[in-house]
Amino acid sequence: MMASVELGGTKCVCLLGRGPDEIAEQRRIPTEAPERTLAAIEAVLDRWREAEDGFSALGIASFGPIDIDRSSPGWGRMKATTKPGWQGADIAGRLERRYAVPTAFDTDVNGAALAEGLWGAARGLDSFAYVTVGTGVGVGIVCGGRPIGGFSHPEAGHVRVARAPGDDWPGFCSFHGGCVEGLASGPAIEARLGHPAAEAPADHPVWRLVAHTLAQLCHGLALVAAPRRILLGGGVMEAQPHLFPRIREALAASLADYFPLPPGDYVVAPGLGGLAGPCGGIALAQGVLSGGKGNMGHDG
């Protein structure tokens, strides 16, 4: 058995298992202050460790930005973040010291991407991108079966994109204002509306703006990384499936027949649905067992 911790901006999901078809137990914990959240995670993992089989590896897939460089003195910690109180929080180091098993640490979106490559809608593909649209907007780009990166992991949710004509709303991101996350994340949509996004019907004008923003993100991904498929997941996409055809239409218009995309739907939902994130930690744990690294390798 392997243990997975998916640490999100709103909730944390702990999972014990070997993959989406072999889940022994799953627990949800609200993401609150770091000490309270990590103590709650440890309470779950402690019980699993004391069970008969325990767990042989731990995969931590966290919201970011995080330090995933094993050679860095800040490895395993949260870096600058929009989540109050979390900057500098020691996540992976604390859990690795406590459980003394091979421990992998990467972004939640990279974990979900790897899970989709193993078991989901990207199975069999050598390159693809996974985008999560929820509390934030995160992007994982996989090439040759490995997430790409360099001095850090990509943060494509914070790129600035071409705005829809007439849209001058300043955006919600505390760092960049009208970046993708500042325009299309769940909190950004609610801030623009002034009420919960769930109360906006499918024909509300806000969804045209959200679809435009996400299509612009897909435009950039297609031109820069040329992934064979783009998967759009997260709470916003799960709750608003009508966004998919709008995004595809806006993407086609934006690319303007510059080059042909692969046949079939290019922008799709994750095959694992809500399990993509929780199984991301299992995918990371599998990687650390097979590769012997404390974090998944990245192609630069």
Q: Find where tokens 């790129």 sit.
A: 159
CA distance 232 to 236: 10
Could you give phi then psi for residue 137, rounded to 5 degrees? -125, 115
Q: Say yes or no to pLDDT of 299 above 90.
A: no
Q: Say yes or no to pLDDT of 10 above 70.
A: yes
Per the structure block, which two tokens stand in for 57? 């590896």
pLDDT confidence band for 297 (50 / 70 / 90): very low
pLDDT confidence band for 274 (50 / 70 / 90): confident
CA distance 268 to 266: 6
What's residue 96's pLDDT? 97
Q: Say yes or no to pLDDT of 103 above 60.
A: yes
Least confident of 170-174, 231-235, 273-277: 273-277
pLDDT confidence band for 75 (50 / 70 / 90): very high
Per the structure block, which two tokens stand in for 93? 């180091």
Highest mean pLDDT among 173-177, 239-243, 271-275: 239-243
Write the CB contacts of 131 (distance below 8 Å, at least 6 apart in sequence). Answer: 109, 137, 138, 139, 140, 156, 157, 214, 217, 218, 221, 230, 231, 232, 233, 234
Cα 45 to its chain centre, rounded Å, is 22
Percentage of the chain beyond pLDDT 90 is 82
Cis peptide bond prior to 84, omega within 30° of 0: no
What's residue 290's pLDDT? 83
pTM: 0.90
What's residue 82's pLDDT? 77
Higher pLDDT, 205 or 264: 205
Least confident of 29-43, 80-94, 99-113, 142-156: 142-156
Is 271:119 a contact under the CB 8 Å cutoff? Answer: yes
CA distance 234 to 180: 14
Q: Say yes or no to pLDDT of 295 above 60.
A: no
Is 287:293 a contact under the CB 8 Å cutoff? Answer: yes
For the chain, the average pLDDT equals 93
Render pLDDT for 218-252 as a digit per residue (tens, 0 to 9): 999 999 999 999 999 999 999 999 999 999 999 99
Q: Say yes or no to pLDDT of 187 above 60.
A: yes
What's residue 293's pLDDT? 47
Is 59:18 a contact under the CB 8 Å cutoff? Answer: no
pLDDT confidence band for 150 (50 / 70 / 90): confident
Side-chain half-sphere exposure of 16, counting CA atoms within 13 A: 17
CA distance 300 to 298: 6
Could you give phi then psi for residue 217, rounded to 5 degrees? -60, -45
pLDDT confidence band for 151 (50 / 70 / 90): confident
